[in-house]
Chains A and B, each alone.
Chain A
Amino acid sequence: DTGVSQNPRHKITKRGQNVTFRCDPISEHNRLYWYRQTLGQGPEFLTYFQNEAQLEKSRLLSDRFSAERPKGSFSTLEIQRTEQGDSAMYLCASSPRGRGDNNEQYFGPGTRLTVT
């Protein structure tokens, strides 16, 4: 198992453009999370999938953001009409179908977005 992977690792875009990031979780992990981390801060929760169902979205996820997880495998996060405030590291995590409260999350390397 190669862990959680994310692509691209870096993305530079101009304000107003759309961007899409991809996350491939650890195989057989049914839970997938997106977080965002800005400079000097800890990661903040954006959204959660259990299999293909998106079960929670943070208020941080404005209507310009959309996430999908077709067939409960990889996930994509799209940002439309990017703004400079969207510049951040976007992290994906996955966790196994745990028993009880076992929910150790494993993170990918992140996608660093810079909006110019």
Chain B
Amino acid sequence: GIQVEQSPPDLILQEGANSTLRCNFSDSVNNLQWFHQNPWGQLINLFYIPSGTKQNGRLSATTVATERYSLLYISSSQTTDSGVYFCAVVNRGGGATNKLIFGTGTLLAVQP
């Protein structure tokens, strides 16, 4: 099946710093979503971005589907950005279910 790898696995930032998280996937995808999982376990939708570039406040994301990767940019990081960031994809050859395959996650800690 499709493999989804995220890097870096862990990241420590000082408040105000910028960062780039990467998601690589091994096959064609129909759907790609970025999530932030807060300390209580809630998955918060950040972007639905199977291709192209989107921006939402201090966050932006770019997916280059032909090269099988996506990037999540966090600018001017805040302590509330801490948590785990997941990339999840729907494999184009995965049938009609549209189930999400999650990456390994990036654990981000923003220090004041």
Contacts and interface: CB of A to CB of B under 8 A. Distances in A.
Interface residues of A, number: 24
30 contacts: A31-B98, A37-B41, A42-B102, A43-B86, A43-B88, A43-B100, A45-B99, A45-B100, A45-B101, A56-B95, A56-B97, A56-B99, A91-B43, A93-B100, A95-B98, A101-B90, A101-B98, A103-B30, A103-B31, A103-B98, A104-B33, A104-B48, A105-B98, A107-B42, A107-B43, A107-B45, A109-B41, A109-B42, A110-B41, A112-B41
Contact of B86 (A42, A93, A103): A42
Contacts of A31: 98
Contacts, number: 59
Contacts of A43: 43, 86, 88, 100, 102
